[in-house]
Amino acid sequence: MKLSTTLLPLALIACNGEPPINIDTGPEDGGVLPATVDFDSGKVASMVVETVNGSIDLQPGGEAGGVRVDVVRQDQAESWDYFLQDQVLQMWPLCENGVLGCSSGFAIGAPATMEAYLSTVSGETKISDYNGNVTIENTQGLVTGLRLKGGNLVATGNSATMNIEFLNEPESVELTTIDGTINLEIPRGTYNLDVTTNGVRSLIDPTTLIQGDGPTILIKSTSGDVTVTGVE
């Protein structure tokens, strides 16, 4: 399920048959911030969003099944760029000199079942009302999932705090952190629960979550607390 996350340097992208698509033709490779870009329905099947300290907010939206991207300046980012090839949309911020490494914030409205890979170092990553397969890498920021309606979710981090809420039964969940806290709410029922916490506090309600043949819930935490709750 995991998307390819390789982002080519901008100088190399232009040598691969299709140059970057920019929102302007200014002196820098990327478009000036803030920016809003709409992609028509059928143009994008999956997305890769990478920033450094910026935030990423993904929720259902876009015009008539398309994708809308709002980009705001955060940290030292001066511009941004995106690359669309084979229906995979890649987005990243640019510093003043047009190189990678700075941060901008991305607010994305997309079809709720679209596959997404989201990566940031210390910014918040938030997904709301989503039903697609999502992979999140967040080193030390906050990972928030609100009113999720299914799909597969993979989230990894070092000291990232994860607060995830599913309204509907997920297909699978995999949450991994070193010393961050994990709080997961899923509908009560039967799950293949695999929770490894290395002796730290782990709270799993046996009256609402039954171990058995069901969706796999895999949680690994080296030193952070883990709470898994089954809700109505």
Along the 232 residues of the chain, how does pLDDT read in single tens digits?
444 444 433 332 322 333 333 433 333 344 677 888 899 888 999 999 998 888 999 999 977 789 999 988 776 667 788 888 899 999 888 776 666 767 788 999 999 999 999 999 888 999 999 999 999 999 999 999 999 999 999 999 988 899 999 999 999 999 999 888 999 999 999 999 999 887 566 778 788 889 999 999 999 988 888 999 999 8
Q: Are residues 39 and 79 in the same domain?
A: yes
Q: Which long-range contacts (CB under 8 A, 24 or more apart) does 92-95 make?
A: 92/7, 92/49, 92/50, 92/51, 93/30, 93/51, 93/52, 93/54, 94/28, 94/29, 94/30
Q: pTM to 2 decimals? A: 0.85
Is residue 133 assigned to a domain?
yes
Distance between CA 229 and CA 184 in Å, rounded?
Answer: 6
Task: Specify whether the backbone of 109 is left (phi greater than 0), alpha (psi in -120 to 50) or beta.
Answer: beta
Strand partners of residue 84: 89
104 shares its domain with 130: no
| Number of domains the chain contains | 2
Q: Based on the domain organization, do 128 and 231 belong to the same domain?
A: yes
The answer to whether position 158 is within a domain reads yes
Specify whether 106 is located in the same domain as 128. Answer: no
Q: What count of other Cβ atoms lies within 10 Å of the Cβ of residue 85? A: 13
Please indicate, yes or no, whether residues 130 and 107 belong to a single structural domain of this protein: no
Question: Would you state the pLDDT for residue 135?
Answer: 97
For residue 78, the Cα-to-chain-centroid distance in whole angstroms is 22
Domain closes at, from 58, 83, 111: 111
Q: Distance between CA 141 and CA 16 in Å, rounded?
A: 34
- Whether 118 is in a domain gets the answer no
Range of the structural domain that residue 172 is part of: 124-232
* Beta carbons of 219 and 196 less than 8 angstroms apart: yes
